[in-house]
Structure 1
Amino acid sequence: MNIKKTLNVAFSAALLLLTLASCGGGVPAGAPDSSSGSAPLSESVTVTLGVVGAIYEDLWKPAQEALKAENINLEFVQFSDYVPPNNALANGDIDLNAFQHRIYLQSEIESYGYEIQTIGNTFIIPLNLYSQKVSSVEELKDGDVVAIPDDLTNGGRALKVLEAAGLIKLSDAAGFNPTLEDIESYNVGITIEELKANVIPSALPDVAAAVVNGNYALDFGLKTDEAIYKDSVLDVEEYWNLIAARTADLSDPAKVETYQKVVEAFQSEATEKVFNEDYGGYFIKVGWDQDLLAR
């Protein structure tokens, strides 16, 4: 059992009395309404959520607060890069994770046979090109080194950004996730260097430019208006970020109910307010109308 439940009889009795005393069997007076309109869980439940980067804790803070009224304690588990979170989820070390887009999850499933799946959409963030040495793409010259993430999916997306920026031409036969071998020609004689996504921001002083993953860009204080080229392809579902769960857990109605509340707590006006007011619209909500846990 991966959701750790702690039954507190005295608290549950008090909660029941408060619920009966409130209007029409709703939530206790002074508490926020359930996002799903259903009653809070009768038992206190802890849900562990794997994330990559401190920014995710800020994005999830409104949901974490709202879930307290649902009797759900959402705990964050931080990972330093993209490799461990799916392994931890598949092994039952965490209950959910929220750090990746759809195509990355699919590649992990194909590579490792993980039985995990999407239960809700969160947002899409741009994959921008940054530089501390030039102020525009046009200033890049032959011999300049441009860094991109070395993982297959973010690396493929980064190559598409470089193509859109006019630096390279990808083969028409390249798949959805191109690799360096799919580069047909260079419009500028740059050298593309593949680095771990989490170290690219700190490598900016050593390269001419770099494609930086959004969460790491934010962690390192890089602003979207500082990018020398901004990612403009934001409606491709494969790049939508998501919340993932173990497939086996979704056969448990109690877990599905809990996870539904977690998804709905994130997909809220309070979360969107954080997107827009705290991060200047850097995060864009997508797919919130899709019910991936329909029962």
Structure 2
Amino acid sequence: MKKSFTFLAGALALISVVFTSCGEKKLNTVKLGVVGAMYEEIWAPAKEALKKEGIDLQIVLLADYSIPNTALANGDLDLNAFQHRIFLEADSASRGYDLKIIGNTFIIPLNLYSKKVSSVAELKEGAVVAIPDDVTNGGRALKVLQSAGLISLNEKAGFNPRINDVVTSKVQIKELKANTIPAALPDVDAAIINGNYALSFGIKTESAIFADTSLTEKNYWNLIAANAKSLKDPAKVELYRKVVAAFQTPETEKIFNETYGGYFIKVGWDEDEISARLAE
């Protein structure tokens, strides 16, 4: 009697496992590394859409920019989405990573703001203008100032010009840490502010006295990256195609515009980066 009961219990347990396995749809897991809590909201529509296709997009929030490419190169992540092309190229070159762009996401404008004047024309000779002190954003900021007619740069300056490349200037340029510039805005006549920091301080894009003119510059486009090795697997390629497609939708753009006030601008959504990588 006892043996029969034990056998019956075991059989029922086995049947339960079989039915559970058949009833539950196994999801393909894709780990996506990001830096900044805002990405969880930006990727929320894609995550929901992918779940319906049997794909579990796991957003892995990382502490700083030094981690995602290392994790991707080591295989701890499937994809990451936190950087623009310049950062990817520089980081890959310095660390020996073989990472590839598989999709474009957005560009964050680098606008000129002021608490003291309402237009560039109102800036007087010798006005103090703050810009980020890092190479990438600093160089981009100088090009914005040149477009605004406030400075001129040496024609031989590289892609990322520096202060010593300024030939003529109507203003005094003050280099500050990018994250400190929003707080310093009242103390200077104008400032170039990174979009993410402007957003954090409640500075609206429409309040800019001069808008960034570099939005079509691909090097400033943010992207989705994959390990080159993974692109040799056709199954992963198709999986990544679905992730890119799920992000590049009107639902994502709605979050750009309505939740983040236009600080994220879609770019390159019509370009098939995966096919371009496979053709290399």
Q: TM-score if structure 1 supplies the norm length?
A: 0.76
Q: Is the 8 A contact 1:107 1:153 kept in 2?
A: no
Q: Is the 8 A contact 2:126 2:170 kept in 1?
A: no
* 1:257 is the counterpart of 2:238: yes
Unaligned stretches of 5+ in structure 1?
1-7, 17-42
Whichever structure has more helix as a proportion of its residues is 2
* 1:235 is the counterpart of 2:216: yes
Match of 2:7 in 1: none
**Structure 2: which amino acid aligns with 1:185?**
T
In structure 2, distance between residues paired with 1:82 and 1:106: 14
Q: Is the 8 A contact 1:119 1:292 kept in 2?
A: yes
Moved more, 165-174 or 133-142: 133-142
**Structure 1: which amino acid aligns with 2:257?**
N
- Post-superposition shift, 1:79? 4.2
- Post-superposition shift, 1:63? 0.6
In structure 1, distance between residues paired with 2:161 and 2:205: 25
Q: Is the 8 A contact 1:275 1:281 kept in 2?
A: yes
Q: Is the 8 A contact 1:53 1:216 kept in 2?
A: no
**Structure 1: which amino acid aligns with 2:216?**
D
Match of 1:131 in 2: 114
Deviations 1:113-156 (A, max 9, x none): 22112110112232111233443334444665433233322221
Q: Is the 8 A contact 2:205 2:262 kept in 1?
A: no
Q: How does 1:82-231 map to 2 (within 5 A)?
A: 82-141=65-124, 144-188=127-171, 190-195=172-177, 197-231=178-212
Moved more, 83-92 or 239-248: 83-92
- Post-superposition shift, 1:163? 1.1
Corresponding residue pairs, total: 260
Unaligned stretches of 5+ in structure 2?
1-16
Q: Label 1:191 to 1:292 Cα distance change in 2 as closer, same or farther (>3 A).
A: closer
Q: Is the 8 A contact 1:49 1:96 kept in 2?
A: yes
* 1:13 is the counterpart of 2:57: no
- Post-superposition shift, 1:244? 1.0
- Post-superposition shift, 1:280? 4.6
Q: Is the 8 A contact 2:36 2:61 kept in 1?
A: yes
Q: How does 1:16-35 map to 2 (within 5 A)?
A: none
Q: Label 1:207 to 1:13 Cα distance change in 2 as closer, same or farther (>3 A).
A: farther
In structure 1, distance between residues paired with 2:163 and 2:184: 20
Structure 2 counterpart of 1:78, from 61, 66, 79: 61
Match of 2:30 in 1: 47
Greater C-alpha radius of gyration: 2
Secondary structure in structure 2 of the residue aligned to 1:119: strand
Identity of aligned residues (%): 62
Deviations 1:89-114 (A, max 9, x none): 33344332212222232222233322
Q: Label 1:100 to 1:15 Cα distance change in 2 as closer, same or farther (>3 A).
A: same
Secondary structure in structure 2 of the residue aligned to 1:216: helix
Q: Label 1:80 to 1:128 Cα distance change in 2 as closer, same or farther (>3 A).
A: farther
Q: Label 1:194 to 1:249 Cα distance change in 2 as closer, same or farther (>3 A).
A: farther
**Structure 1: which amino acid aligns with 2:154?**
S
- Post-superposition shift, 1:268? 1.4
Match of 2:9 in 1: none
